[in-house]
Amino acid sequence: MNILMICLGNICRSPLAEGIMKTKVPADFLVDSAGTISLHEGEHPDKRAIKTAANHGIDISSQRSRPITRRDFEIFDKIYCMDIDVFEDVISKAKNEAERQKVSLFLEVLGDHKNAEVPDPYWGSMEDFEKVFQLLEKGCNEISNQILK
Ligand code: 4NP
């Protein structure tokens, strides 16, 4: 099972989601992340994301930002989007129904969070990053429960 996490810049939310998800699935799962924009391509995650992950014993410091590509729709089985704008952007790149079926809003896995978005912490504080971490942790737990059952 190959899982891709997507946000806007691929330096805050989806790198955290990738780092958390990797702790929940067997090592032979491919877990990666990407962004819908290439503004931060090649950059490591935001320092606050790195610190927040490190506070929870997860090292995301070697990740590098990259934009989503057409190939991702072939490689990955599940593509989780952090907010509705990201979801709409990713869905617009899907070429057929099979590809569209792979794409969902990350927080939909938590039934009571229908249409909920993982808030963008980029303009926020360390506290906002920690809140995002907690949301992502909940979602990743549920995804791994669903996938591994
Ligand atoms: P992310 O956060 O999508 O969670 O990585 C952002 C990163 C960069 C920008 C916006 C959001 N930006 O505007 O550069």
Show me where the domains of the chain are located.
2-147
Please determine, for residue 149, whether its predicted confidence score (pLDDT) is greater than 90.
no
pLDDT attached to residue 111: 86
pLDDT digits (tens, 9 = 90+) for 97-129: 999 999 999 999 998 776 689 999 999 999 999
The CATH-assigned architecture of domain 2-147 is 3-Layer(aba) Sandwich (3.40)
In the predicted model, what is the mean pLDDT of residues 65-81? 98
**Stretch (H or E) spanning 140:** helix 126-148
| Pocket mutation for ligand 1, best pick of 11, 52, 89 (most atoms within 8 Å of C-beta) | 11
DSSP helix, strand, coil percent of the chain (3-state; round to 5): 45, 15, 40
Q: Is 120 a catalytic residue?
A: yes
